[in-house]
């Protein structure tokens, strides 16, 4: 969970109950990386938003390399998941009128990424990030695909 939410008591409580890890978002948080890899080795599950933030446009934003780094480093499968119905304005409007939220979750086929080593490490991580994001985009309605809408890998997947 992003460190910026530590100031909210309910979020701190939730993070504790979920046994989540606080993360410094804009720097290499080696403690969080080590802790995550240990938990994965022990059979834990990592849920990560590869964009690193919420989109204000409804469409996907460029993915960041954190998710592909963890997948490549651990060797474990990635399960792409697409969620719709959680847009801020929609949630606020529905809750304001005490209406039930219509949240949709689509889960894709698990896949693995190759290890990211050597001089091509950054390029491999970028390819992994694009693969993750395109697989998520393939699970979304067309209007939600954002910067990946015209990506060649997405066209292959569709």
Range of the domain at 124: 48-157
Give the pLDDT of residue 83. 93
Domain count, the chain: 1
Q: Per the domain annotation, does 8 fall within a domain? A: no
Divide the 158 residues of the chain into consecutive groups of 10 and give the mean pLDDT of each group.
84 88 82 92 92 86 94 96 87 84 94 94 96 98 96 96
pLDDT reported for residue 3: 80
Two tokens, residue 123 = 């390029």
Residue 19 pLDDT: 87
Distance, CA of 79 to CA of 47 (rounded, Å): 10
133 in a domain, yes or no?
A: yes
The pTM (predicted TM-score) of the whole model is: 0.86
Q: Is residue 7 one of the residues assigned to a domain? A: no
* Alpha carbon distance 104, 82 (integer Å): 8
Residue at 24 is within a domain? no
Alpha-carbon gap, residue 38 to 55, rounded angstroms: 30
In this predicted structure, what is the pLDDT of residue 150?
97
> What's residue 120's pLDDT?
94
Q: 81, 66, 80: which is closest to 131 by C-alpha? A: 80
Q: Which residue has the tokens 């651990």?
A: 74
Indicate whether 105 belongs to any domain: yes
3 within some domain: no
């Amino acid at each position: 969970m992003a460190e910026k939410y530590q100031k909210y008591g309910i979020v701190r409580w939730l993070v504790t109950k979920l046994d989540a890890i606080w993360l410094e978002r804009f720097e290499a948080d080696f403690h969080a990386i080590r802790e995550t890899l240990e938990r994965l080795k022990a059979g834990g599950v990592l849920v990560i938003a590869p964009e690193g933030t919420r989109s204000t446009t409804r469409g996907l934003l460029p993915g960041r390399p954190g998710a592909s780094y963890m997948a490549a480093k651990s060797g474990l499968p990635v399960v792409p998941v697409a969620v719709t119905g959680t847009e801020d304005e929609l949630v606020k409007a529905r809750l304001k009128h005490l209406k039930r939220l219509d949240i949709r979750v689509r889960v894709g086929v698990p896949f693995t990424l190759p290890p990211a080593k050597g001089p091509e490490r950054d390029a491999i991580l970028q390819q992994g990030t694009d693969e993750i994001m395109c697989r998520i985009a393939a699970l979304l309605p067309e209007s939600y695909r954002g910067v990946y809408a015209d990506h060649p890998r997405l066209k292959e997947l569709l």
